[in-house]
Amino acid sequence: MTIDKNRVIIFDTTLRDGEQSPGCSMTLNEKLRVAEALEKLGVDVIEAGFAIASNGDFNAISQISALLKETVVCSLARASIKDIDRAWESLKAAKRPRIHTFISTSALHMEHKLQMSPEVVLGKIEESVAYARNLCDDVEWSCEDGTRTEEAYLYKTIETAIKAGATTINVPDTVGYTTPQEYTRMMRKIIENVPNSDKAIFSTHCHNDLGLAVANSIAAVEGGARQIECTINGIGERAGNAALEEIVMAFRTRQDVLPYKTGIVTENITKISHLVSSVTGLNVQHNKAIVGANAFAHESGIHQDGMLKNAGTYEIMTPESVGLGKSTLVMGKHSGRHAFGEKLKELGYVLGNNEFLNAFEQFKDLADAKKIVYDEDIISIVDVGMRDADGMRITSWKFVCDKDVPNSATFELLIDGEISNVHSEGNGPVDAAFLALQTLVEGEPVLELYQVHAVTKGTDAQAEVTVRLSDNGRTVNGHAAHTDTLVASAKAYLSALNKLLVKREKNKPEELTA
């Protein structure tokens, strides 16, 4: 894969580290859709999940393995035979499988978390990597909390892993602690001091606790790493992982000082950013680099004047280079199936027959409710449409909002092919709707966040609603869009409930970090 010495492997962990972060759980259909989009984006490796964590994770990895054509599919495992067997089983259908196994190597983690001596950990590394390599030619090994590991010991663990057959060595900054200069030096010294370092590709995995994840990832590459682990929109544990789009655009924009190449089709960045934000319900902050709503907006008069004279005055990269087109037309109720299909193609969507008909039907409904349909509306239809395939679905509704009678909400739902009805009164129609839907699950999930925003301008715009629920320490986000804010609210609440049901299945292995 790396004949060119400046080719950097992009390893995406949106579906593992990203999905592991609070509120980011995705359903199976959502994961498949993100995986497909990642392949189209041109990432080299997709970490699809942690096979032993739950049946949901296992199924997702299996199906992603069967779905992808080119991309390496990677399954995570702790340093135990049981974990590795499960990871390997989940990769059965993969054209290019990779097992990723890890263990902590810092004194702090070994003593308090693992309660193992450094010698025992070395033995575990040898055993787990050799076992994995026996099953699979492509084995990645990570020294968890690598950046806080004592140097001489770190070299010994890496040498052991390579000797046992690891082909990629990842040195993660698990807690987001390192700084760019320190990390460059560390990578360089590892490669110099580990005697068999020429037999593996070195990798970086950075967290953003100090806002340095992207800078650190680039610094590691300058020190000799040739794989970067990152996520779309920088989602991930705590403050998140390094953002794929920022790293890739830094390389593309600054080839003069960062002469590194990736296989990423940058024009697909905006679309996948939107998809990931939509399926996780985690909105992108407006001033976020590359994919934030304001990233290419020039508001001040002086800047606008400069831009009109020459775009280069304030623009270091074009909106088109990340696939951000002008918000254009714009379709209406008279647009036919053909025009709709063309529009989808232009937006980069390829839908199956049923999906297409479903989306077209929704488009017609939307065009009836709203005069002008924008690109954003169509993206929202396609992204949200996929999610409706999972779990409980609302088929009909009635809201009562009246000063003189009790407010209430009534729903007809389809659950596993059966029709159900729920009803509740409440303080206003939103409260009534949430109370009615809550009766569908056991327990009382707590509403942590309820957020509404308009997809486009105009009072007839679609409302996009995010609902965050927590239940027994688990947090999930639900997301939906509709021209009627009440309907969008109910659908968002239900999508959160659907995810809560998926998440309740998860086992809790003591350690799910890396």
- Where does this chain bind Mn ion (CB under 5 A)? 17
**214, 229 in Cβ contact below 8 A?**
no
Q: Which is nearer to Mn ion, 172 or 445 (CB)?
A: 172
Tell me how far, at minimum, the Cβ of 514 lies from Mn ion, in Å. 5
How far is CA 90 from each of CA 52, 55, 169, 428, 501, rounded to the nearest angstrom? 9, 10, 22, 47, 22
CB of 18 to Mn ion, least distance (A): 9
Beta bridge partners of 140: 100, 168
User: Residue 100 or 271: which CB sits closer to Mn ion?
Assistant: 100
Closest CA to 37 of 275, 387, 352, 321: 275
Nearer to Mn ion, 214 or 494 (CB): 214
Q: Which is nearer to Mn ion, 185 or 238 (CB)?
A: 238
Report the residue number, 17 or 39, with the smaller CB distance to Mn ion.
17
**Closest distance between Mn ion and the C-beta of residue 253, in Å?**
26
* CB hemisphere CA count around 276 (13 angstroms): 31
For 256, counting Cβ atoms within 10 Å of its Cβ (0-12 exposed, 13-18 middle, 19+ buried), the class is: exposed
Dihedrals phi, psi of 401, to nearest 5 degrees = -135, 100
What sign does the dihedral 386-391-394-395 (CA atoms) show? positive
Decide whether 23 or 391 has the Cβ nearer to Mn ion. Answer: 23
CA atoms of 507 and 308, how far apart (whole Å): 57
Indicate the residue among 17 and 246 with the shorter CB distance to Mn ion: 17
* 427: its two tokens: 């303080």
Of 145 and 383, the one with the shorter C-beta distance to Mn ion is 145
Closer CB to Mn ion, 17 or 44, in the complex? 17
Joined together, the tokens standing for residue 334 give 């008279």
Place of tokens 């929704």: 362
Shortest Å, Cβ 205 to Mn ion: 6
Question: Least separation, in Å, of the C-beta of 13 and Mn ion?
Answer: 7
DSSP 427: S
Beta carbon of residue 162, minimum distance to Mn ion (angstroms, whole number): 22
Residue with tokens 């794929």: 244
Q: Which is nearer to Mn ion, 246 or 377 (CB)?
A: 246
In the complex, minimum distance from the CB of residue 174 to Mn ion, in angstroms, rounded to a whole number: 6
Instruction: Give the nearest distance from C-beta 446 to Mn ion in angstroms.
Output: 27
Complex with Mn ion: residue 228 or 467, whichever CB lies closer: 228
Categorise residue 311: left if φ over 0, alpha if ψ from -120 to 50, beta otherwise.
Answer: alpha
Q: With CA atoms as reference, report the closest residue to 227 among 246, 252, 207, 247.
A: 247
Which residues have a Cβ under 8 Å from the Cβ of 125 and sit 6 or more positions away? 79, 103, 141, 157, 160, 161, 164
Instruction: At 374, list the tokens.
Output: 């924008």
**DSSP assigned state of 113:** I
Residue number of the CB closest to Mn ion reads: 17
Which residues, including other chains, have CB under 8 Å from residue 182's CB and lie 6 or more apart? 147
Distances in Å between the Cα of 311 and the Cα atoms of 304, 319, 321, 367 are 9, 11, 14, 36
As measured in angstroms, the least distance from the Cβ of 236 to Mn ion is: 6
Q: How far is the CB of 129 from Mn ion (least distance, A)?
A: 19
End-to-end distance of the chain based on CA atoms, in angstroms? 25
Nearer of residues 17 and 138 to Mn ion, judged by Cβ: 17
Kindly state the smallest distance separating residue 230's Cβ from Mn ion, in Å.
Answer: 10
Nearer to Mn ion, 17 or 140 (CB): 17
Contact 304, 298 (CB under 8 A): yes
Minimum Å distance from CB 511 to Mn ion?
A: 12
CB of 179 to Mn ion, least distance (A): 18
Buried b (16+ CB within 10 A) or exposed e, 212-250: bbbbbbbbbbbbbbbbbbbbbbbbbbeebbbbbbbbbbb
Distance CA(455)–CA(295), nearest Å, equals 18
The Cα-based distances of 403 to 217, 422, 428 in angstroms read 58, 23, 10
